[in-house]
A = this chain, B = another copy of it.
Amino acid sequence: MDASVQARLDEFIRHHGLRRTAQRVTIVTAAFSKDEHFTAEELFERVSKVAANTSRATVYRTLGLLVEAGLLREIDLGGNPTTYDPNFLNRPTHNHLVCIDCGRVVEFEDAHIEMLNECVTRRLGFRPIRQALMIEATCEQLRTKGRCPNLIATRLSGKRLRKKR
């Protein structure tokens, strides 16, 4: 899988007359080393552990490149900084559900939704390119049983909850 990412990057680089630099390889590797979403800063930190000389500016520039190349996608789960999702290569049509109790993000695919979006788009006189669906929801277990399995996991992972709306 990582091999295919590098291959696609190389393809893009060749096709556009760009250079295959050590920094770009390092950054791509770091970006796809987990399936977690990440911010520019988080990626910079990951990269710094492997190649301490890489600059923040290059991370930002490479992120732009990877988005252009279609390897990464910016997603909006509400709020800055920009979050990047490395999972669109494997699941090009997935969507996001955010639990507002615990901040946990669930990725899911649904062919029905896909198809409906497509129909709606055509009815409006457009040709769909892509769509982003973000669902905000509460955990049913928390409501009925008083505890949210995700909430516990989230606390353990040390991530901060999103700003309260």
**Contact of B68 with A165 in the complex, beta carbons under 8 Å:** yes
Q: A143 to chain B: which residues have CB within 8 Å? A: 127
Give the most central of A68, A74, A122, A137: most B CB within 10 Å. Answer: A137
Interface size on A, residues (CB 8 A): 39
Copies of this protein in the assembly total 2
| A125 at interface by CB-CB < 8 Å | yes
Query: Which A residues fall within an 8 A CB radius of B?
Result: 67-68, 74, 76, 78, 80, 97, 99-100, 106, 108, 110, 112-113, 116-117, 120-122, 124-141, 143, 165
The contact of A130 among B80, B124, B132, B136, by CB within 8 Å, is: B136
**Contact of A131 with B133 in the complex, beta carbons under 8 Å:** yes
Q: A129 to chain B: which residues have CB within 8 Å? A: 100, 136-138
